[in-house]
Amino acid sequence: KDVQKEREPHVYLSKEEVKEKIQSYNSSVTDKLKMTLNANGIYTGFIKVQMELCRPITVQSSQSQGRCAHSNNETAFYLPDGCVNTLHISSTNTVREVIEALLKKFFVADNPAKFALYKRCHKEDQVYTCKLSDREHPLYLRLVAGPRTEMLSFVLREHETGEVMWEAFSIPELKNFLRILDKEENDQLQILKNRYAAYRGKLEEALRGVLKPG
């Protein structure tokens, strides 16, 4: 089970230190997703983000696939479990910009404020997850940790309900959330009804066997 870990302080590296780390990083890369240092000191590279979304996302498309519920030209559907996306970003891109880029890549219409980016670290046979602040720089974290995703990986999740700034959403977005919640509630009710109907059927069958004249 994941446990929370306090954020580590950002260590500012000199241009020479960045150059050395990038050379070391690129020498360890096995998937050709290397980093590039530009003359102005900004470097670019790739990060992989695993999507761990429990709720459906809203896409402005009528062609979306999956378990769907339609509303005008929008479709709400569940992303497959373990879906991983690769983004090409720069060292200046913040967590908030990475989240926005991910949603844009999926044509997601939901407000970025619904989502949070986490880092997942493996240390001493334990897994630590920590929610990143909007101002942190994912590519810097990737560079410092090295290219091995088992040492550091990124995960996109929904905010906890109590953390969401609901006043930041438009009326149509809030109505869409309610529609999704209604659908989830109805789905869960149907699952419970089916389960108890199956139990009832088995009990009635057992009773008929016991009461059957011998």
**What torsion, rounded to 10 degrees, do the Cα atoms 55, 96, 70, 196 define?**
0
Per-residue pLDDT of the chain (214 residues; tens, 9 = 90+): 444 444 555 667 888 999 999 999 999 998 889 999 999 999 999 999 998 887 777 777 544 444 444 445 667 667 777 788 999 999 999 999 999 999 888 788 888 888 999 998 877 777 788 889 888 999 999 999 999 988 899 999 887 655 566 666 677 777 777 777 787 788 888 888 988 998 888 888 888 877 766 5
* DSSP one-letter code for 28: H
- The pTM is what? 0.67
CA–CA separation, 197 vs 32, rounded Å?
Answer: 54
Q: Quick one: DSSP state of residue 54?
A: S
Nearest to 53, CA basis, from 17, 80, 34, 27: 80
C-beta of residue 99 within 8 angstroms of C-beta of residue 108: no
